[in-house]
Amino acid sequence: MDLTPVSQPVSDTQWQAIKDAVAREMPLQKRALECLATTMPGLILVAVHDWDEMLLKIGGKLVTAGLPRDQVAATLSAAEANSLWRRADPDGAAALAVSCAADNTWSDRFFQLGFMNLGGEVDKLLPPPLPDSDNN
Q: Is 132 part of a structural domain of the chain? A: no
d(CA 129, CA 123): 11
- The pLDDT value given to residue 132: 61
Structurally, the chain folds into a number of domains equal to 1
d(CA 65, CA 134): 19
d(CA 115, CA 124): 16
- The pLDDT value given to residue 89: 87
- The pLDDT value given to residue 3: 62
d(CA 10, CA 126): 7
- The pLDDT value given to residue 26: 96
pTM of the model: 0.86
Q: Is 6 part of a structural domain of the chain? A: no
Q: Is 3 part of a structural domain of the chain? A: no
Q: Is 136 part of a structural domain of the chain? A: no
Q: Is 77 part of a structural domain of the chain? A: yes
Query: Do residues 37 and 87 touch, judged by C-beta distance below 8 A?
Result: yes
Q: How many residues does the chain have?
A: 136
Print the domain residue range for 108: 12-125
**pLDDT < 70 positions in the chain:** 1-5, 129-136
Q: Is 1 part of a structural domain of the chain? A: no
- The pLDDT value given to residue 136: 47
**59-63 contact pairs (CB < 8 A, 24+):** 61/122, 61/123, 61/126, 62/10, 62/18, 62/122, 62/126
d(CA 44, CA 53): 14
